[in-house]
Amino acid sequence: RKPGPLDEVVERVIRVPDEYESFLSDAPERALGEGVDENTLAGLFYTGGTTGASKGVMLTHRNLIANTYHWIAISHPQPDERYL
């Protein structure tokens, strides 16, 4: 593989096994967002534990949208900028 720009900043890449594709294809089809509202769990996010042991927090879709609006308000992103 040819080195890319992320090689300097990405600590580890996890290779997904080939069986994952069949796992996805066997999943029932649902419309995007079906059964999801602002209070639905969006993910479990982990902290580095700066004040003690590492811990996780459950965030809803509403939490993520609020965090995004807050970040936009304080960061003033420009049209030519990209963020990961």
Identify the CA nearest to 64 among candidates 33, 41, 31, 36: 41
> Once rounded to an integer, what is the mean pLDDT over residues 27-40?
84
Report whether 57 contacts 42 (CB < 8 A).
no
pLDDT confidence of residue 10: 67
Domain coordinates in residue numbering, the chain: 5-26+37-75
pLDDT confidence of residue 53: 79
- Higher pLDDT among residues 84 and 61, named by residue: 61
